[in-house]
Structure 1
Amino acid sequence: MPAKAKCDAVLMIGFGGPTRADEVRPFLDNVLRGRPIPRERYEEVAHHYDLLGGRSPYNDLTMRQAAALRAELDKTNVRVPIAVGMRNWKPYIVDAMRTLADAGARRVLGFIMAAHRSEASFERYQATVDDARAQLGARAPEVVYPQPWHDHPLFVTAVASRAREAFARLEFPERSRARLIFTAHSIPLAMAQAGPYVEQLTQSARIVAADLGIDTWQFAYQSRSGNPRDAWLEPDIKETIRSLDVKTAVVVPIGFLCDHVEVLYDLDIEAAQVARAAGIRMERAPTVGDHPLFIEMMASIVAAHAR
């Protein structure tokens, strides 16, 4: 399928999250899908949701992005249906695709809500879409995907804008001394070596740092899970903070598109505790979320694919 095959609908594809306390464990069961995770780790992650009100803001934030995308497309009279489908919770991908099929969509732009591609952040979502199409049978729309956009000028400028929000919370002398640290979700080393994930993250970070006029920066990983004996991407953000030779850090979660639980707990609670214990002031930049430049980027991609 050509990179810009003309589409008549958009499917925003996300991870999903529980919207109330009684959904947390069924959601985690869905995410794990039978993988052997120690019970203590399972309960630890469930407790993260308890600390954040017994729910995840992920679905709400993704719906807000979808609403902003609709409004941006309306400005240029690009009229295409937009549905949101989640891999791990309601509204599921298959239900969103059924809605689009019922509306007459025959070719859909699948916009996976992850800027940097790995098996976990891209191929697994494509596989879920393929399963959904199989369930829908002959009436299932075709699904095409945009080209990588991790280095799109509007995306990296939106990230830089969010980073500036964090730097602005520092007093002027601190700003020039603060260490810029980018973070992304850690993945198994073997998975990372099989795809462009690290290369794309590094490209994004380098462009953002240049936009900020900063030469010295670091990259760290967060939210590691899985077997502790397996090799995952490092360094971990907590160890990075402990080893800093400065007393101020600005952390930019460039690998995440909204402030969901892995940002709110792993950075705002866990990493922040480590920073306080080390006597380091840590300011965390917001994710791009519904930043106007990010939404404008999404709209430009949709418009390039729309009929």
Structure 2
Amino acid sequence: MPTTLHSADTGPYDALLLYSFGGPNKAEDVVPFLRNVTAGKGIPDSRLEEVGEHYYGFGGKSPINEQNLALKAALEAELARRGIDLPVVWGNRNWEPYTTDAIDELEELGAKRAVALVTSAYSSYSGCRQYREDLAVTLDRRGQLGDEGSIGVRFDKIRSYFNHPGFVQANVEAVVEAYGELAAKGGAPAEARLVFVTHSIPTTMEAASVVSHATYSAQHLDVGAVIAERVAAELGHEVPWELAYCSRSGPPSQPWLEPDVNDLLTERAGEGLRDVVMSPIGFVSDHMEVAYDLDTEAMATATELGMTAVRAGTVGTRPAFVSGLVDLLLERAALARGDEVDEATVGDLPAFRSVCEVDCCLRRDGEPSGVPALCSRDLYR
């Protein structure tokens, strides 16, 4: 019989790595941070200064670091509530504390095998594989990557969790609350459109995001259908919905996933839509893509169009989400022990693999030299 997750056994893991993107803490950090994000692309500092205007509008400080600290504290509290003694270490790809800082901390704790929880719910190059590559390159630079994998701390990973019940329930709660806010603002909830929003990616990355189940966009469409159905049941009326994208970057000649949320709002306003709820299901916290692209830019578009608009919250530290992450940790530990486990999901897609396929989620629009070979070793599974 498959194992249930009532056990608090996290073995063989002796630490949890909360692994995120990172962001600047002050104005002086912005360009160095963006250099890290765009490393190898040859983008001049003058262009990075232009991109950095989003951050400068918030004092040069990204919300993401404080949000990661809040999630870390929430995970620690939930682990303690369940009687689980497991240290949580935070590290970032692009800013302090860097991946190597997190590995230092893990080693100081005496960790031998850690499990990584990436703050991206979906499977794609930028949402999964790029974190694996960063960890592989970091270990290689530290001299801790042998032919058979890691010879320092060994890393496994928690599966992509977009279709886990905890993530979905937290989003349902946030959207229902947003419909209440819309009514309080004088909108008509029964006539409103629910627009799910996620980070756009190049179409080449979309094509390469197929693992054995579904592309990046298909993952969002699957979970969006579930959330909309559950919200409709809560509200007692139909909830028409669609998916839009934000945060496009790169040259205009490179196709990215569309429609952009601002273009979609403009088109729907022309068709007579007057009330909208935007739900950022592609993000786990209210970081810069939400604070600027939605709260600033898209809300301004909606106002110009005469729409009544509300932005639903992200899952953040909602109890359903945090509890679900701990469930995923216990699920991954059971799988690592060789137990048969029922992997909880909602929607039509199955649970994505915890042990990634060697060639999954390739970027294909310019692989970093040598990184795929490093990444495919048995160090971060």
Q: TM-score, normalised by structure 1?
A: 0.94
Other structure's SS at 1:228 match: coil
**1:32 aligned partner:** 38
Q: 1:54 aligns with which of 41, 55, 60?
A: 60
Cα distance in 2, alignment partners of residues 183 and 7 from structure 1: 35
Cα distance in 2, alignment partners of residues 296 and 160 from structure 1: 15
Mapping of residues 227-266 of structure 1, within 5 Å: 227-244=251-268, 245-266=272-293
Other structure's SS at 1:83 match: strand
Q: 1:184 aligns with which of 198, 222, 229?
A: 198
Q: CA deviation at 1:38?
A: 6.7
**1:298 aligned partner:** 325
Q: CA deviation at 1:136?
A: 3.9
8 A Cα contact 1:159 1:254, kept in partner? yes
Q: CA deviation at 1:39?
A: 6.2
Q: CA deviation at 1:215?
A: 4.4
Cα distance in 1, alignment partners of residues 140 and 49 from structure 2: 34
8 A Cα contact 2:20 2:91, kept in partner? yes
8 A Cα contact 1:14 1:87, kept in partner? yes
1:110 aligns with 2:116: yes
1:92 aligns with 2:98: yes
**1:145 aligned partner:** 157
Cα distance in 2, alignment partners of residues 36 and 249 from structure 1: 39
8 A Cα contact 1:5 1:305, kept in partner? no
Cα distance in 1, alignment partners of residues 284 and 205 from structure 2: 21
**1:201 aligned partner:** 220
Other structure's SS at 2:52 match: helix
Q: 1:17 aligns with which of 14, 23, 44?
A: 23
Q: 1:161 aligns with which of 173, 176, 193?
A: 173
Structure 2 counterpart of 1:209, one-letter code? A
Other structure's SS at 1:164 match: helix
Give per-residue Cα distances to partners, 1:162-214, cap 9 Å, x unaligned: 11221111227611111000010000001001113112111111111111014
Q: 2:243 aligns with which of 205, 210, 219?
A: 219
8 A Cα contact 1:7 1:305, kept in partner? no
Cα distance in 2, alignment partners of residues 153 and 305 from structure 1: 16
Cα distance in 2, alignment partners of residues 111 and 301 from structure 1: 9
Cα distance in 1, alignment partners of residues 11 and 135 from structure 2: 18
Structure 2 counterpart of 1:65, one-letter code? L
Q: CA deviation at 1:43?
A: 2.8
Cα distance in 2, alignment partners of residues 25 and 39 from structure 1: 7
Cα distance in 2, alignment partners of residues 106 and 16 from structure 1: 25
Structure 1 counterpart of 2:118, one-letter code? I
Structure 2 counterpart of 1:184, one-letter code? T
Cα distance in 2, alignment partners of residues 70 and 48 from structure 1: 32
Question: Which is worse superposed, 132-141 or 104-113?
Answer: 132-141
1:286 aligns with 2:313: yes
Q: Compared with structure 1, are the counterparts of its residues 295 and 118 closer, same or farther at alpha carbon in structure 2 (3 Å cutoff)?
A: same
8 A Cα contact 2:170 2:315, kept in partner? yes
Question: Which is worse superposed, 152-161 or 94-103?
Answer: 94-103
Structure 2 counterpart of 1:174, one-letter code? A
Other structure's SS at 1:290 match: coil
Give per-residue Cα distances to partners, 1:240-279, cap 9 Å, x unaligned: 0001131010000000011111111111111111111111
Root-mean-square deviation (Å): 1.8
Structure 2 counterpart of 1:135, one-letter code? R
Q: Compared with structure 1, are the counterparts of its residues 38 and 21 closer, same or farther at alpha carbon in structure 2 (3 Å cutoff)?
A: closer
Q: State how many pairs are aligned.
A: 304
Cα distance in 2, alignment partners of residues 32 and 137 from structure 1: 25
8 A Cα contact 2:166 2:325, kept in partner? no
Give per-residue Cα distances to partners, 1:99-125, cap 9 Å, x unaligned: 112211111111111001110111110
Other structure's SS at 2:132 match: helix
Cα distance in 1, alignment partners of residues 218 and 92 from structure 2: 26
- Normalized per residue, which structure has more helix? 1
Q: CA deviation at 1:40?
A: 6.3
